[in-house]
């Protein structure tokens, strides 16, 4: 263990012990507010079950640390590294998580409700059953994360990267997912009711059994996506998106191509198999010859 890591653990221990002592001295059960700021290394620290509510972590390195069931409500995690850390069941409700690296972390059933998590990295993290309800996660990177039954209700995922995630049964109800990247993700039985997917990229994603009731797909790219067994998907929704010959939609529905043409679409057993281009517009008639004036024309009156 490095000297910096040892000193940081001592400081954390002192912070955790101070609250109950002070509370006992004051005859109150309330937790003492904390404004401690921590940095440096705490690699593979064992901090499970600790109370660190309101703590500040700035440029801290908690790689591989164990914080199982820890209380980090209202904490501020800024530009810190929690890659490979285990925060199973931890509570980060109302926390600020800005530019934090959780690559490969275990975050199953972790609570992120009302959290500010802009620009953070959750790549390859296991987040099954985590709760991100009402959180702000604009531009956050969930690339290849495990999001099985993760809750994103009313979450702002604008511009987020959900490329190749495993999100079976995830709840995106009323989420804002404008310009988000859902390419090649597995969203079987996920809930997108009322979700805003304007300009989102759903290329090659699997939506088997997913629920799209009242979801918006305006300008969304659904090339190669599989909606063949999606629920509550309408033709109006598909008309606002664009796909290609690989796009699969429910029987009786069709998707239009992304080439901007107004061609006809043929759907067979849920497959868009051919797109017939619209005929070219007829040429415009030639303009009539300009009149020849014997005198200067009278200028037009200006609009009032």
- Classified as helix, coil or strand, 5 is helix
Phi, psi of 14, rounded to the nearest 5 degrees: -65, -40
**What CATH number is given to the structural domain containing 142?**
2.160.20.80
Domain that holds residue 228: 162-259
For residue 217, pLDDT beyond 90: yes
* Least confident segment among 115-124, 256-265, 280-289: 280-289
pLDDT of residue 2: 52
Sign of CA dihedral 245, 250, 252, 253: negative
> Considering 130, 151, 172, which residue would you say is the last residue of a domain?
151
Q: Which of 151, 176, 199 is the last residue of a domain?
A: 151
pLDDT at 14 > cutoff 50: no
Classify the C-alpha dihedral 81-83-88-89 as positive or negative.
positive
Domain assignment present for residue 15? The answer is no
pTM: 0.76
- Rounded to an integer, the average pLDDT of 74-87 is 98
pLDDT in tens, 142-183: 999 999 999 999 999 999 999 999 999 999 999 999 999 999
pLDDT at 63 over 80: yes
Please state, in angstroms and rounded to a whole number, the distance separating the CA atoms of residues 118 and 137.
Answer: 5
**In this model, does residue 302 exceed pLDDT 80?**
no
Q: What is the pLDDT of residue 39?
A: 85
φ/ψ of residue 15, rounded to 5: -65, -40
Q: Are residues 108 and 178 in the same domain?
A: no
Q: Tell me if 252 is assigned to some domain.
A: yes
Task: Kindly report the backbone phi and psi dihedral angles of residue 258, in degrees, each rounded to the nearest multiple of 5, phi listed first.
Answer: -90, 10
pLDDT digits (tens, 9 = 90+) for 222-260: 999 999 999 999 999 999 999 999 999 999 999 999 865
DSSP 30: S
Is 199 in contact with 179 (CB distance < 8 Å)? yes
- Residues 86-106 have a mean pLDDT of 98
Residue 289 lies in a domain: no
How many domains does one find in the chain? Answer: 2
Distances in Å between the alpha carbon of 72 and those of 54, 82, 113, 140, 166?
7, 13, 12, 20, 26
Residue 78 resides in a domain: yes
Q: Cα(first)–Cα(last) distance of the chain, in Å? A: 82
Q: What is the largest CA-CA distance in the chain?
A: 106
Q: Which of 8-12, 44-48, 58-62, 211-215 has the lowest mean pLDDT?
A: 8-12
One domain for residues 142 and 177: no
One DSSP character per residue, 215-239 reads -B-TT-B-TT-B-TT-BS--HHHHH
Residue 8 phi, psi dihedral angles, 5° rounding: -65, -40
The helix (run of H) or strand (run of E) holding residue 19 is helix 3-25
């Amino acid at each position: 263990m490095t000297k910096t890591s040892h000193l940081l653990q001592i400081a954390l221990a002192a912070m955790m012990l101070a609250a109950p002592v002070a509370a006992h001295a004051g005859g109150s059960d309330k937790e003492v507010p904390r404004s401690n700021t921590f940095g440096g290394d705490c690699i593979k620290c064992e901090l499970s079950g600790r109370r660190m509510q309101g703590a500040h972590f700035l440029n801290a390195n908690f790689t591989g640390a164990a914080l199982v069931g820890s209380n980090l409500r209202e904490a501020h995690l800024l530009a810190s590294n929690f890659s490979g850390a285990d925060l199973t069941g931890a509570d980060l409700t109302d926390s600020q998580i800005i530019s934090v690296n959780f690559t490969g972390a275990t975050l199953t059933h972790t609570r992120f409700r009302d959290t500010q998590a802009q620009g953070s990295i959750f790549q390859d993290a296991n987040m099954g059953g985590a709760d991100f309800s009402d959180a702000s996660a604009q531009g956050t990177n969930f690339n290849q994360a495990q999001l099985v039954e993760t809750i994103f209700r009313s979450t702002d995922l604008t511009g987020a990267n959900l490329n190749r995630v495993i999100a079976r049964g995830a709840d995106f109800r009323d989420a804002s997912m404008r310009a988000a990247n859902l390419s090649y993700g597995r969203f079987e039985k996920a809930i997108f009711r009322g979700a805003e997917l304007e300009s989102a990229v759903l290329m090659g994603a699997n939506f088997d059994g997913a629920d799209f009731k009242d979801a918006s797909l305006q300008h969304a790219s659904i090339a190669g996506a599989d909606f063949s067994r999606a629920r509550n998907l309408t033709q109006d929704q598909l008309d606002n998106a664009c796909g290609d010959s690989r796009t699969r939609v429910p029987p009786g529905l069709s998707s239009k191509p992304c080439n901007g043409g107004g061609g006809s679409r043929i759907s067979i057993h849920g497959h868009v198999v051919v797109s017939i281009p619209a005929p070219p517009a007829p040429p415009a008639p030639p303009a009539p010859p300009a009149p020849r004036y014997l005198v200067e024309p009278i200028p037009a009156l200006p609009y009032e």
